[in-house]
Amino acid sequence: MSETNPYAPPRAAVADPTPAGAPVKASRGRRLVAKIADTLLVFVAAALGMYVVGDRGVLFDHPGLNVSALIGMSPVGALQLALLVRTGQTVGKKLLDLRIVGLDGEPANRWRLVVLRSLVPIGIGWIPLVNGTFGLIDALFIFGGQRRCIHDYLAETIVVDLRAPKSAFLRIRA
């Protein structure tokens, strides 16, 4: 009796095949951990700014939050911007060996990195009633087949895993 079992699990390959020489996209989990690291860094810097300035109030719904938190976050923002422009990485991405590159695997255009991938989503985040919705939809886009968020589509970028075998296709800036 060599009939196939109709209830057996499929035997198809479930991993997305990567064409030879193409950069390997970063996993969703590693991208999440990098984002959490970046967010924690900014949060700690804002809290330190509030502490140094002497603003000991609650972090939310406090009139002094913006100025004192901005004082604390400025050095972190400058560091993140410098890393992003120089290497295509943030602190979190650097810790996890991830890099933002263009769709062709080449270093991403600096203007696209800073403006389209960073400043546009931040600006949308300042719009009341839209900020939470956009942030959620932006994050949920990573569950699509291409594993890219809205900000990746805007900037025409992908996030690649530098721990994967290096290929001639991916030229990395030092």
Q: State the average pLDDT over residues 145-169.
A: 84
- In this prediction, residue 60 has a pLDDT band, given cuts at 50, 70 and 90, of low
Separation between Cα atoms, residue 51 and residue 24, nearest integer Å: 42
Is pLDDT of 169 > 50?
no
C-alpha of 147 from chain center:
11
Is pLDDT of 172 > 50?
no
CA angle 31, 34, 36 (to 5 degrees): 110
Q: What pLDDT does residue 157 have?
A: 95
Lowest average pLDDT, out of 21-25, 70-74, 81-85, 97-101, goes to 21-25
Residue in the structure block whose two tokens are 């956009």: 134
* pLDDT tens digits, 31-57: 999 999 999 999 999 888 878 777 655
Q: What pLDDT does residue 26 have?
A: 93
Residue 79, classified by CB atoms within 10 Å of its CB into exposed (0-12), middle (13-18) or buried (19+), is middle
Question: Is the pLDDT higher at 128 or at 79?
Answer: 79
Q: What pLDDT does residue 173 have?
A: 44
Is pLDDT of 99 > 90?
yes
Packing angle of the helix pair 28-53, 65-87 (nearest 10 deg): 140
Is the Cβ–Cβ distance between 116 and 110 less than 8 Å?
Answer: no
